[in-house]
Amino acid sequence: MNRAELIEFVRHRGLAVVATRDVAGAPEAALVGVAATDRGELVFDTSAHSRKCVNLTSFPRVAVVIGWDDEVTVQGEGLAEVTAGPERDRCLSAYLEQYPDGRDRAQDPQIVLVRVLLDWVRHCDYRQESFGIVEGVLDD
C-alpha cells in the first residue's frame, strides 16, 4: 500500500480503533474519528485527560485498525504525539476537513490533537473475489 492509497482509505472510512498501553502494560483501545493529512499522518482529537492520551504520552507506540466494512481493513503501528504550534494547525486543517463539527472542540483547551506517524501497515482484503494481504512500510 502506498501513501496515497492509505490517505484515500482513511478519508473514505473516517473511523479507527487506536490501541495504547498504560505504564503497567495493560492494553486500552478506543474508537476515534480519524483523518489523514496529505503526508499520510493519522490525526484524531481527544481529551487531554483520556486514558489514550495519558497512555500515549507515557508510551507513544500505538496500533490502529481502520475500516472493517466490506471485509477490507488497514492495520498499522507507529508513534503518536500530541501536536502543538504550527504542526497542530496543519494537522487540525486536515482533521476539520474530515470532521467540520470538530471546530468547537478544537477551541476547548482540554482537547488535544494527536498525530500518528505509521511505520508499518497491513492492508487486508478478505473478500473472496479479491483476497489479498500486503504488509510492510509505507512507500510513496
- Domain locations along the chain: 3-136
Residue 65 identity: V
pTM: 0.92
Write out pLDDT tens, residues 39-74.
999 999 999 999 999 999 999 999 999 988 889 999
Residue 75 and residue 121: Cα distance in Å, rounded? 6
Q: Measure the CA dihedral 53/36/33/13, to 10°.
A: -140
Are the beta carbons of 4 and 38 closer than 8 angstroms? no
Could you confirm whether domain 3-136 is CATH 3.40.1350.10?
A: no
1: confidence class by pLDDT, cuts 50, 70, 90: confident
Are the beta carbons of 3 and 78 closer than 8 angstroms? no
